[in-house]
Amino acid sequence: MTNQLPGGPDTSNLPTTADVSGGRPRAFTEPLREVCALALLGANATFLFLGASGLLLVIDGWVSDFGRRSAGTFDSFVGGVVPVAFPLLAVLLATHVLPVVGRARLITLAALVEYGVSTFFGAVTFLGAFVYDLSSVRATLEGVVWRLMWAGLLSLAGTVTLRLWLGVFYTRKLRPVRYSAQSPTYGQPYPGQPMYPNTSYTPGQAQPGYPTQSEPTSGASGWPVVPPPPMPTPPVVESEPTQRIPLPPTAEPPTTPFER
């Protein structure tokens, strides 16, 4: 029951504490998580483009005023909440609040690209601003400390995003095995062909796979090894020490008329 004052507004239809803790307000903001993440990345990308154009797209005094422009545009790349926190916040909204949005991989990749652009232009503007502040010792020290602090925060946010990308979204591709197109020579196996032992048999030697007489008669498992059957002995042809050569037939002496 609700206490209602006479003439006052009706408060019976307002959400109670149980309705709020039950997650009903989230149903109104859940479809906007992906839109918010993309909006944060888009805003940071816009500021990065404006900073790069202000640093490079200058005609008058491009070299002489480079240090002054570097000190003025350092905040667009590193020294500010927008380049440091916006990409990380977009990644956390897309991945760490369940359920994960459908474009979480694209959002994480875009955040990595923006951190890479911030790192590159941040290093360039850091050196330019350092040279510009050399005229004053105090300005040089304060500028170096201030810029290093923001550079450390940017490195931390980029490291968190990179670890998330490598651990969740990055998949390594296996390199396919490439065979040589050279034709094999005679007597050599083809690429990928298994090697087989030589099974040629030589008379007087044990066959492959059987133990010889010098090998033990028991295998590694403890069972006795069956000896191979005896090898056939090649026949031995005995040769005579001397060779008999038949003599030619003797011719009879011619007869004379006196012997008749």
Identify the band that residue 2 occupies on the pLDDT scale cut at 50, 70 and 90: very low
The string of DSSP codes covering the chain is -----TTS---TTS--HHHHHTTTTHHHHGGGHHHHHHHHHHHHHHHHHHHHHHHHS--TTTTTTHHHHHHHHHHHHTSSHHHHHHHHHHHHHHHTSSSPPTTHHHHHHHHHHHHHHHHHHHHHHHHHHHHHGGG-HHHHHHHHHHHHHHHHHHHHHHHHHHHHIIIII--PPPPPPPPP-SPPPTTSPPTTPPP-------TTSPPTTS--TTS-SB-TTSPBPPPPPPPPPPP-PPPPSS---PPPPPPPPPP-TTT-
Tell me the mean pLDDT in the region 162-175: 83
Residues ≥6 apart with Cβ < 8 Å to 170: none
The arithmetic mean of pLDDT across residues 94-115, rounded, is 93
- Residue 30 is predicted with a pLDDT of 87
Segments forming the whole domain that contains residue 156: 28-169
Check whether 101 has a pLDDT greater than 70: yes
Report the C-alpha gap between 30 and 68 in whole angstroms: 44
Contact status, residue 82 vs residue 136, Cβ threshold 8 Å: no
> Is the torsion defined by CA of 144, 145, 149, 150 positive or negative?
negative
Closest CA to 126 of 54, 74, 72: 74
Torsion of CA 86, 92, 94, 97, to 10 degrees: -140
On whether residue 224 sits in a domain, the answer given is no
Q: What is the number of structural domains in the chain?
A: 1
Q: Judge if pTM exceeds 0.75.
A: no
Is residue 44 situated within a structural domain? Answer: yes
pLDDT over 70 at 64, yes or no? yes
Instruction: Tell me, yes or no, whether 232 lies in a domain.
Output: no
Residue of 162, 53, 166 whose CA lies nearest to 114 = 162
136 in a structural domain:
yes
Cα 81 to Cα 157: distance, rounded to the nearest angstrom: 11
Domain assignment present for 107? yes
Q: Give the pLDDT score at 155.
A: 96
For the residues 43-69, what does the mean pLDDT come to? 92
Residue 98 pLDDT grade (very low, low, confident, very high; cuts 50, 70, 90)? confident
Q: Convert the pLDDT of each residue in 117-156 to its tens digit.
A: 999 999 999 999 999 999 889 999 999 999 999 999 999 9
Q: Name the band, by pLDDT with cuts 50, 70 and 90, for residue 59.
A: confident
pLDDT (average), residues 31-53: 95
Query: Residue 161 — pLDDT band, cuts 50, 70, 90?
Result: very high
Is 254 among the domain residues?
Answer: no
Per-residue pLDDT, averaged over 23-36, amounts to 84
pLDDT of residue 37: 95
Yes or no: say if 105 and 169 are a contact pair by the CB < 8 Å rule: yes
The most distant pair of C-alpha atoms in the chain lies apart, rounded to whole Å, by 193
pLDDT-derived band at 180, boundaries 50, 70, 90: low
Encoded amino acid at 215, one letter: E
**Residue 108 included in any domain:** yes
Q: Evaluate whether residue 196 is within a structural domain.
A: no
Q: Tens of pLDDT along 229-258?
A: 777 776 665 555 555 666 666 656 655 554
Q: Does 210 or 40 have the greater pLDDT score? A: 40
